[in-house]
A and B are shown apart, each in its own frame.
Chain A
Amino acid sequence: MSNGQNDTGRREMTGAEMVVQALKDNGVKHIFGYPGGAVLPIYDEIFQQDDVEHILVRHEQGAGHAAEGYARSTGKAGVMLVTSGPGATNAVTPLQDALMDSIPLVCITGQVPTTLIGSDAFQECDTVGITRPCTKHNWLVKDVNDLAKTLHEAFHVATTGRPGPVVVDIPKDVQFARGVYTPPQTAPRTSYHPQVQGDLDRVKEAVALLANAKRPIIYSGGGVINSGQEASELLRELVELSGFPITSTLMGLGAYPASGKNWLGMLGMHGTYEANMAMHDCDVMLCIGARFDDRITGRLDAFSPGSKKIHIDIDPSSINKNVRVDIPIIGDVGHVLEDLVRLWRATVKADKKALYPWWEQIAKWRARDSLAFKTNDEVIMPQYAIQRLYELTKHRDPFITTEVGQHQMWAAQHFHFEKPHHWMTSGGLGTMGYGLPAALGVQIAHRDALVIDIAGDASIQMCIQEMSAAVQFDAPIKIFILNNQYMGMVRQWQQLLHGNRLSHSYTEAMPDFVKLAEAYGAHGIRCDKPANLDDAINEMISVKKPVIFDCRVATLANCFPMIPSGKAHNEMLLPDEATDEAVANAIDAKGRELV
């Protein structure tokens, strides 16, 4: 088998060549990375081919979030390549981020040669040890003959079942060593077999329960997006057939269109009044691909007390973890929904009239207009900025990423998503600095699309260095900063919990974002008057290179409605009730301890 390729695709090559070959064989077109001593052999191989395009970031964290954005917007695995030691430790944040949001992310790390492992060598760290709790699985490959199989397995594990991040740690001597490359196999390891098909009897039970519901609600999450386009279509079909109201988690926005008539808006801590009240008062809850996160449930012992709950999830450990459910269905959302919709069509004669009283009640909650805010002629309200951004870009089908904080919640509330895979945000981990590199990753995958990072002035500075990568790779991402000079969400919590003592949540020295954009070779725009906002946004869209938009907004606006910590869904703080006094007393001593 010397050098020549035989029938089965097995051939001899170096470890570094295997990495590139495995990327090609797993359909990878782009990877995000940063070179260093322990990955130089792989970079040398990347240099000598054109099939896989490498995007050079400016910090390994950026590579990870870019790969996440790429994965989230395409449904394919995102791939990052970093060196040993600091390269690997810098990857930890995106790995944990991808773990919590179930994003398929393959991270290839260089490692010091096997002979030096354990000697505290230069740029050595225990990569598999450090990344063990923040990956779905990880591998240290000590024998070049295991490398190809391991890489294929890594892609398989990352992209199947509940998707997640994986790490393959490759010592430098293994990259140089020659061995036999094997192409991807269909037979996965025996201990890994995610359950895809749901138990049909349970689905039948669920349909029977749903068919007789008087006050039903569908609560969908990121699992619908992860399951693929078809799952979103089936979800829409189910809503159409049943006439049920639907709400979604932060991660699930876009699976059901915001323009749909059954849409209640997002639920949870900063969700709409109607969505949370409907969750609280429903008699049957259908949870699809969501995990009853604490940001969704609020106080657990008062969470939807009168309802029967159905939970569809591919991960058995998500069932009954936080909330007890009556009918658990373990399986892929798409597969289960297919059965559910088919059974519904075959057995249920929908009586949509039976739902009229429920819809009337919902209409009353809706009339509270919980997302309302007072507009102002002098200063730009942050909610208004998002509204205008939405109105002026919606016809372009934009991809939206965010950082983490108030701006993220305002984006979720006031930007409306019609399609899955168009909303990229750090939900579980809440990683400030996610949005800019994620936008870069999205733009690399969708060259002609409009990609906007809705950012805050604090978050944007956490991965601002990736502007340089965006310029280098002609990625015309738009960074729309809601600049209020505060870490707004931190300040909001200090007002709620800590007697308005604003400890270190104000940024006294702020860079000039317009000059900063220009320094990077991008385009800078500043706007501080509502009257000029539309023109400025249109300018941003028309510029064919990366843009930083410094949108100066009202500095003290807070994000409402809100379920204060330790409170239940029906104890929301609404914007018109959020006086200074109400804010100061919203959370009791017990709630103060919660996150």
Chain B
Amino acid sequence: MNAQLQATGSAYFISKETQRPEIHTLSVLVDNEPGVLARVIGLFSGRGYNIESLTVSETEHEKHLSRITIVTRGTQHVLDQIKHQLERIVPVHRVIDLTVRAGELGQDRPLERELALVKVAGTGDARVEALRLADAFRASVIDANTEHFIFEITGKVSKIEQFIAIMKPLGLVEVCRTGVAAMNRGPQGM
């Protein structure tokens, strides 16, 4: 959402940042109260951090807890700051860097899935080809008439990106994506 990659902070930070930016997925458990999402997003924009993807929903209704999944990009130093700054927000219960946790568990990366709705319009060969490819991607048709399909596709971000790219010449009309939902493999919770 905003493309600033440098470590933020003091204006005196004129030394070159030597660390390379990495993409990490954070899980943030918060009290589901008014304004909580604004606090999280405001923190990112106010301090110049990146949001590549953001997903939020109440996950424990009795306790009014929501889980926010944020994919962000930064150097390790910035990622540490993001975690600590998030933990300062009063309604935030816990912040887990799923990418770091996956590393600790000896895994490549956390499980990440996204859902997309993809509308494709067309007739003739393009239409047949779209349906054939959708089948190959295990996308399902959730709406159709003689001139269009709406596909529902779930999977890794890369798979969805690829599917959308392939649909482009076949009459892609619009796309809606949920953003990433993520958790670590194994029996433990966050």
Interface residues of A (CB under 8 A from B): 128-129, 132-133, 136-138, 140, 157, 189-192, 293-294, 297-301, 315-317, 319-322, 565-566, 590, 593-595
Contact = CB atoms under 8 A, between A and B. Distances in A.
B56 to A, nearest CB: 16
A355 to B, nearest CB: 30
A317 B35 contact: no
B95 to A, nearest CB: 11
Which of B34, B81, B88 has the most chain A CB within a 10 Å cutoff? B88
B90 A590 contact: no
Given A140-B34, A191-B31, A191-B90, A320 B10 contact: no
Interface string B151-167: 00000000000000000
A555 B92 CA distance: 52
Interface string B43-85: 0001000000000000000000000000000000100110011
Contacts of A566: 12, 14
B12 A132 contact: no
Contacts of B11: 294, 593-595
Contacts of A300: 10, 12-15
Contacts of B34: 140
B71 to A, nearest CB: 21
Contact of A297 (B12, B87, B90, B93): B12
4 smallest CB-CB distances across A and B, nearest first, come from A301-B15, A317-B84, A294-B10, A137-B90
Nearest to A193: B93
Contact of B13 (A132, A133, A317, A322): A322
29 contacts: A132-B38, A132-B42, A133-B42, A137-B89, A138-B35, A157-B90, A189-B31, A189-B90, A191-B90, A191-B93, A294-B10, A297-B10, A299-B12, A299-B14, A300-B10, A300-B13, A301-B14, A315-B88, A316-B84, A316-B87, A317-B84, A317-B85, A319-B84, A320-B77, A322-B10, A322-B13, A566-B14, A594-B12, A594-B14
A9 B30 CA distance: 31
B80 A320 contact: yes
Interface of B: 9-15, 30-31, 34-35, 38-39, 42, 46, 77, 80-81, 84-85, 87-93
A566 B77 CA distance: 22
B64 to A, nearest CB: 11
Given A132-B39, A190-B93, A315-B88, A321 B81 contact: yes
A328 B92 CA distance: 23
Contacts of B35: 128-129, 132, 138, 140
A470 B71 CA distance: 53
A316 B95 CA distance: 13
B90 A136 contact: yes
A465 B48 CA distance: 37
B87 A317 contact: yes
Contact of B38 (A129, A157, A593, A594): A129
Contacts of B42: 132-133
Which of B10, B13, B15, B89 has the most chain A CB within a 10 Å cutoff? B10
Nearest to B63: A190
A453 B91 CA distance: 39
Nearest to A137: B90
A287 to B, nearest CB: 16
A297 B35 CA distance: 36
A203 to B, nearest CB: 20
A192 B39 contact: no
Contacts of B10: 293-294, 297, 300, 322
Contacts of B31: 189, 191
Contacts of A594: 11-12, 14
A136 B91 CA distance: 11
Nearest to A142: B34
A320 B77 CA distance: 8
A128 B36 CA distance: 11
Contacts of B84: 316-317, 319
Contact of B90 (A192, A316, A593): A192
Given A316-B84, A317-B85, A319-B84, A294 B12 contact: yes
Contacts of B14: 299-301, 566, 590, 594
A443 B92 CA distance: 38
Nearest to B87: A316
A174 to B, nearest CB: 15
Nearest to A138: B35
Which of A137, A593, A595 has the most chain B CB within a 10 Å cutoff? A137
B88 A317 contact: yes
Contacts of A129: 35, 38
A191 B13 CA distance: 33
A593 B91 CA distance: 37
B17 to A, nearest CB: 11
Nearest to A190: B93
A293 B9 CA distance: 9
A99 to B, nearest CB: 11
B106 to A, nearest CB: 26
Given A300-B13, A320-B81, 7 more contacts: A191-B92, A297-B10, A300-B14, A317-B87, A319-B84, A321-B9, A595-B11
A260 B189 CA distance: 54
A150 B14 CA distance: 43
A317 B47 CA distance: 13
A317 B37 CA distance: 20
Contacts of B13: 300, 322
A383 to B, nearest CB: 27
Contacts of B46: 133
Contacts of A297: 10, 12
Contacts of A595: 11
Contacts of A128: 35
A429 to B, nearest CB: 15
A316 B83 CA distance: 10
A595 B81 CA distance: 22
